[in-house]
Amino acid sequence: MTELYKLSIQEAGAMLRARQISSVELTRAHLDRIRAVDDKVKAFTLVTDDLAMRQAHEADIHFANGNTVTALTGIPLAIKDVICTKGITTTCGSNMLKDFRPPFDATVMQRLNAAGAVMLGKTNMDEFAMGSSTEHSAFFTTQNPWDLERAPGGSSGGSAAAVAAGMAMGALGSDTGGSIRQPAALCNVVGLKTTYGRVSRYGLVAFASSLDQIGPFARSARDAALILQAIAGPDARDSTSSPQGVPDYGANLNGDIKGLRIGVPEEYWVDGTQPGVEKAVRADIEKLREMGAEVGEVSLPHTKYGVPVYYIIAPAEASANLARYDGVKYGYSYRDTNDMWEALEKTRQYGFGQEVKRRIMLGTYALSSGYYDAYYKQAEKVRSLITEDFTRAFEKFDVLVSPASPSVAFKLGEISDPYEMYLQDVFTIPANLAGTCGISIPGGFSHGLPVGLQLLGNFFAEDTILRVADAFERVTDYHTRWPEL
């Protein structure tokens, strides 16, 4: 029999409902896997053993009594440490919040709890979700399960690595400029960035409020659809959440994409893309053509402005959002002084890491008097042009296809130049600026390391990109391969 930690959510769910396995057995298998390999990978900031076993036991009672269950009842999942969990530390990978225990659950946690899911623990991340390598965590660096000397991507690197290494059947992450899709690409798992407003942000610790979105990691498109089904939908506590109803994301996963129109953005073949990545993705596009999709070229002319626009808007919003960490209300507080201003200054000096301070300074500058019109206002105008590019493209095509990352996993410590690191998100940032949805799925290998294939969809077209992702998985085996740990 397959080791329990290697089952898909769909397979495990069927076995749980048939009483062939128990949630306690399934959860214990994942906790054992965490004990076996997480000292190498370092994906978790906190493992909630007791809570997980208690939730698994409750799930088994529901199965035994014939109660109504969901596709996630008894399924062990991991949660990015930027999502509030009541009474359980939520650190955001920062010394500023290392002892913070929220008094409430995020909406996505309430929905996972209502679905009967099991929480294994919280996963490591770049501090306040600012980074593309998980090297900016205040606590430790997460390693890529495919090569422990390489980065798992970021900022949701812990969630991606946990799923890739079999330590969780799925996970939640957040995506502000690629923080789900880029680590999914580097770790050979599925990572879905939802349409802005599709999933409630209530209880997601804010980085850039007009860009952040919560989404799932999984080892298949079907599993990602099951998690999305549980967390999507309107929320009165999030004024940016969409009132739009939630479709059945599994309904059209039938393997058929004949006649679907797939656009290949010509601007997404940028200089600096590794040849192995380009070769794999071009082969993937041919595979989609062979499957019956109609493939054509499309232009997104303002794509080249995506990175500079993002690094004005996101830091500006971060500057405003992170002003709340002043040492007064919660979080780290410098107390070795009687001077209020020194206390505030030292709190932020010692509480924040280097990358967070860099972005706060960038954002404060962009918003400052005399520069607001020149930078922030201009960036918002170009953001509108990027959104219009996507709107025009989706009039002709159902899905757009590109690499998810310009490179395979890079070595830890290899990228020291902040701007070079920012370019890791060159293919993922435009969808965040526009607010559309996107998914990275396993798309092949280059020199033994995973390559991510990105599928971009229109607003609220998660069902369409999941359909293409699922069909692609049926004719390839990339997503079934495991790293040797």
Distance from C-alpha of 193 to C-alpha of 424, rounded to nearest angstrom: 16
Does the pLDDT value for residue 274 go beyond 80? yes
Q: Is residue 380 part of a domain?
A: no
pTM for this predicted structure: 0.97
* E strands present in 84-211: 118-123, 170-175, 190-193
Q: What is the mean pLDDT of residues 464-482?
A: 98
Distance from C-alpha of 150 to C-alpha of 448, rounded to nearest angstrom: 12
Does the pLDDT value for residue 223 go beyond 70? yes
Does the pLDDT value for residue 1 go beyond 70? no
Residue ranges making up the domain that contains 65: 4-260+397-480
Active site residue 369: no
Q: Of the candidates 317, 324, 171, which has an alpha carbon nearest to the alpha carbon of residue 240? A: 317
Residue among 42, 80, 122, 193 flagged as catalytic: 80
Confidence band, pLDDT 50/70/90 cuts, at residue 369: confident
Provide the pLDDT for residue 200. Answer: 98
| Residue 243: C-alpha distances to residues 240, 248, 344 (Å) | 9, 16, 40
Distance from C-alpha of 126 to C-alpha of 118, rounded to nearest angstrom: 24
Q: Is residue 371 part of a domain?
A: no
Q: Is residue 107 part of a domain?
A: yes
pLDDT tens-digit series, residues 66-118: 999 999 999 999 999 999 999 999 999 999 999 999 999 999 999 999 999 99
Q: Is residue 273 part of a domain?
A: no
Q: Is residue 328 part of a domain?
A: no
Burial 345-367 (b: 16+ CB within 10 A, else e): ebbbeebbbebbbebbebbbebb
Residue with tokens 């799932």: 216
- Tally of structural domains, the chain: 1
Active site residue 155: yes
Please answer whether residues 403 and 454 qualify as being in contact, where contact means their C-beta atoms are separated by less than 8 angstroms: yes
What is the CATH classification number for the domain harbouring 25? 3.90.1300.10
Active site residue 22: no
Residue among 155, 200, 241, 242 flagged as catalytic: 155
Q: What is the mean pLDDT of residues 21-36?
A: 98
Q: Is residue 103 part of a domain?
A: yes
Q: Is residue 13 part of a domain?
A: yes
Q: Is residue 20 part of a domain?
A: yes
Q: Work out the end-to-end distance of the chain between its first and last CA atoms, rounded to an integer number of angstroms.
A: 20
Residue among 94, 174, 179, 446 flagged as catalytic: 179
Token pair belonging to 50? 């007791």
**Cα 180-234-82 angle, rounded to 5 deg:** 35
Does the pLDDT value for residue 295 go beyond 70? yes
Please answer whether residues 213 and 193 qualify as being in contact, where contact means their C-beta atoms are separated by less than 8 angstroms: yes
Confidence band, pLDDT 50/70/90 cuts, at residue 382: very high
Q: What is the mean pLDDT of the chain?
A: 97
pLDDT tens-digit series, residues 118-173: 999 999 999 999 999 999 999 999 999 999 999 999 999 999 999 999 999 999 99
Confidence band, pLDDT 50/70/90 cuts, at residue 263: very high
Distance from C-alpha of 197 to C-alpha of 247, rounded to nearest angstrom: 15
| DSSP 8-state class, residue 194 | P
Provide CB contacts within 8 A for 436, sequence distance 6+. Answer: 195, 390, 394, 456, 457, 458, 459, 461
Does the pLDDT value for residue 384 go beyond 80? yes
Token pair belonging to 371? 């520069």
